[in-house]
Amino acid sequence: MKAQSIHRNWVLFLVLACCLLVPILAQADSSLQKMSADSNQWVMPGGDYGVTRFSRLDQITTDNVKDLEVAWTMSTGTLRGHEGQPLVIGNMMYFESAWPNYIFAVNLDDVGRMVWKFEPPKDSNAPPVACCDVVNRGVAYADGKIIASVLDGHIYALDANTGKPVWTAVNADPLKGQTITAAPLVVKDKVIIGVSGGEFGVLGYLSAFDLNSGKLAWRAYSAGPDKGMLFNPAKTINANLQKPVGKQSSLSTWHGDEWKLGGGTTWGWYSYDPKLNLIYYGTGNPGSWNPNQRPGDNRWSMSIIARNPDTGVAAWAFQMTPHDGWDYDGVNENIIVDLDVKGETVPCIVHFDRNGYCLVLDRRSGKLVAVHKFDPTVNWAKSIDPTTGRPTVDPAKMTRAGRNVKNICPAAEGDKDEQPAAYDPATKLFYVPTNHICMDYQAFDVKYKAGFPYVGAILNMYPASPNVRGRFIAFDAITGETKWAINDTFQDWSGVLTTAGGVGFYGTLDGWFRAVNLSDGKVLYQFKCPSGIIGNPIAYSHNGKEYVAVFSGVGGWAAIGLAAGLTKGSEGLGAVGLTASLSDYTNLGGTLMVFTLK
């Protein structure tokens, strides 16, 4: 009887454990969500799952921000490409440099000493295939681990206390032209991360690794057969048409096997709605840049895709730029907000695309809610269908082999690239760092070879207005109204931070870190940093005092000429001539800058 009782108790225990398994797996997700509500910390790359980059801290206000001063600084040990942001977990700060991807832990009670530094092995094959500089966009945190992706394709889970590796996974192969530049996102027990390499004929994919073991849980490709894309032909929604995608919705839009050579890399930002249990991300350009080599819409490159994070199965997909002929990657952030649409509160994502249009989608179904230009010079399309989102392309601006198409706006860098916008719930506006640029584009035939550039175009970029390459704007996504704008000499390539104090923060390519009044755009404070700013400001509080931190470390596609020592205007995929004078204003560098009130 005693043995039977013990056996029965074990059975009950196992049944109970199985019943509790799903809630246990969700704890990392719910814990992060709860932690992100504490504005004393900054626990995710975008501040929260909605990537709103809004802080509820209000100690720094429009009245006292003029009294900001540098609290402390720290060298990152590298000199370029700092497109990320630190994390603050309790009294610890964690951050990652650009390649060779040093990862640091600093105790905020003792900022003069590094608690630990992790130096991953250096793979010299990675930098040559990083098309647009050796950038990195930051680390993630969950369950006592720092999750870091590095340029050569490795993912490291590090013990947050010691910096020692818990597990290592591989998500990319530089010998195939694959790299990683994005920041991971942790959802439940999954580490979500994409891949870079659209200029090397890489077929894009999004991967999910198990948070505890590093084992690959699922991988979803951006183009190709339904099985590889994790598309359900009967249930995955073609959001442009609001009906099921049907069988092989991608293959039917490519010629032959062209989809294998660069269908939508996934190197941007990832967001997540816990209520709908959907992750949202964008896919990049199809290969090559010569559209004549790949007839058709080239689905699902240039798209926003919503997926179940547990299985990877796609809920819906919305294509923004079919048959891309301009390199208008769709990887920019999808900001999760609930917006008033004609008196009804609609759960939305807001996406400022490279192609110059702001799209508002119902995040439940991908249905288009609103679409507006956010730069007045956009001319590649005559209009966007307000129901399907399909553009009516201006034939004079469509690129093709053997022709130099002039004065296309925006240029390939887009009216906004990966530099993330922010939302302010008080003004209900989006604060957007933009590019104000146009280009000439000459396509030509190119052959594919693994690990070599697969571009097929020569570009030259230039300002859309005399001496104005960037505009920092306050934008109403529903009406399409720009409330105010600050014109800048160079592209505004830093991210944005909004705060409950009514202050917004951003940096300029020539190194000015600015605080602006969210209501009217007045610059209330600025400080000249050691190098240009392409990183993203964050806010946190320590010992009752509010701080704002940002990387100074110019580079990225916007400053590839300065970063890589290029001088010919058409080099750097056409970007070098656009910022030829940048070296008159700033130098390379890599410094974490931390500000607070006097």
Q: What is the pLDDT of residues 522-537, one digit of tens each?
A: 999 999 999 999 999 9
Pairing of strands 243-244, 470-475: unpaired
Query: With 60 as the cut, is the pLDDT of residue 18 above it?
Result: no
Nearest CA to 532 out of 548, 552, 506, 560 is that of 552
Name the phi and psi angles at 526, rounded to 5. -150, 150
| Active-site residue, 173 included | no
The pLDDT, as a whole number, for residue 28 is 54
Share of the chain above pLDDT 70, in %: 95
The pLDDT, as a whole number, for residue 563 is 96
Query: With 80 as the cut, is the pLDDT of residue 454 above it?
Result: yes
What Rg do the C-alpha atoms of the chain give, in angstroms? 23
In a domain, 486, yes or no: yes
Summarize pLDDT for 261-315 with one digit per residue, the tens.
988 999 999 999 999 999 999 999 999 999 999 999 999 999 999 999 999 999 9
Look up residue 72 and give its two tokens: 């402390």
Query: With 80 as the cut, is the pLDDT of residue 365 above it?
Result: yes
The pLDDT, as a whole number, for residue 24 is 39
Cis? peptide before 100, omega within 30° of 0: yes
Name the phi and psi angles at 391, rounded to 5. -80, 150
The pLDDT, as a whole number, for residue 262 is 84
In a domain, 42, yes or no: no
Query: With 90 as the cut, is the pLDDT of residue 19 above it?
Result: no
The pLDDT, as a whole number, for residue 23 is 40
Domain with 580 in it:
62-597
Chain mean pLDDT for the chain: 95
The pLDDT, as a whole number, for residue 585 is 98
In a domain, 12, yes or no: no
Count CB-CB contacts under 10 A for residue 426: 12
CATH code (residue 185) = 2.140.10.10
Query: With 80 as the cut, is the pLDDT of residue 26 above it?
Result: no
Pairing of strands 237-238, 243-244: antiparallel
In a domain, 196, yes or no: yes
In a domain, 22, yes or no: no
The pLDDT, as a whole number, for residue 166 is 98
Confidence category of residue 29, pLDDT binned at 50, 70, 90: low
In a domain, 204, yes or no: yes
The pLDDT, as a whole number, for residue 13 is 38
In a domain, 523, yes or no: yes
Number of domains making up the chain: 1
DSSP letter string over 112-142? TSEEEEE-PPP-TTSGGG-TT-S-B---EEE
- What pTM does this model have? 0.95
Q: Which is catalytic among the residues 29, 152, 173, 327?
A: 327
Query: With 50 as the cut, is the pLDDT of residue 2 above it?
Result: no
Query: With 70 as the cut, is the pLDDT of residue 99 above it?
Result: yes
Question: Which of 20 and 421 is assigned the larger pLDDT?
Answer: 421
Vertex 392 angle, CA 317 and 360, to 5° = 40
- Find tokens 């200029």 and name the residue: 199
In a domain, 38, yes or no: no
Query: With 60 as the cut, is the pLDDT of residue 15 above it?
Result: no
Pairing of strands 497-499, 54-55: parallel
The pLDDT, as a whole number, for residue 8 is 40
Average pLDDT estimate for 104-131: 96
Q: Under a CB-based contact definition with an 8 Å cutoff, are residues 286 and 263 in contact? A: yes
Query: With 60 as the cut, is the pLDDT of residue 392 above it?
Result: yes
Summarize pLDDT for 54-94 with one digit per residue, the tens.
999 999 999 999 999 999 999 999 999 999 999 999 999 99
Query: With 50 as the cut, is the pLDDT of residue 17 above it?
Result: no
